[in-house]
Amino acid sequence: MERTLVLAKPDAVARGLVGEIVSRLERKGLKLVAMKMVWMDKEMAERHYQVHKGKDFFEGLVEYITSLPIVAMVWEGPSAVSSVRAVMGATDPAKASPGTIRGDLALDISNNLVHGSDSVDSAEKEIALFFKPFEIYDWKRPGEEFIRGK
Closest CA to 69 of 22, 17, 10, 21: 10
* Separation of CA 106 from chain center: 15
Give the Å distances, CA to CA, from 136 to 18, 61, 64, 93, 102.
Answer: 19, 27, 27, 30, 26
pTM for this entry: 0.92
48 is known as an active-site residue = no
Choose, from 21, 84, 115, 127, the residue flagged as catalytic.
115
What's the chain's Rg over C-alpha atoms?
Answer: 15
Cα 98 to Cα 1: distance, rounded to the nearest angstrom = 28
Other beta carbons less than 10 A from residue 111's beta carbon: 15
Note the CATH number of domain 2-40+69-137: 3.30.70.141
44 Cβ neighbours under 8 A, 6+ residues apart: 38, 129
Nearest to 35 by CA among 5, 73, 77: 73
Say if residue 42 is exposed, middle or buried (CB neighbours under 10 Å; 0-12, 13-18, 19+): exposed
Q: Where along the chain do its domains lie? A: 2-40+69-137
* Each residue's pLDDT expressed in tens, for the chain with a length of 150 residues: 899 999 999 999 999 999 999 999 999 999 999 999 999 999 999 999 988 898 898 998 999 999 999 999 999 999 999 999 999 999 999 999 999 999 999 999 989 999 999 999 999 999 999 999 999 999 988 877 777 665
Whole-angstrom distance, CA of residue 145 vs CA of residue 46: 40
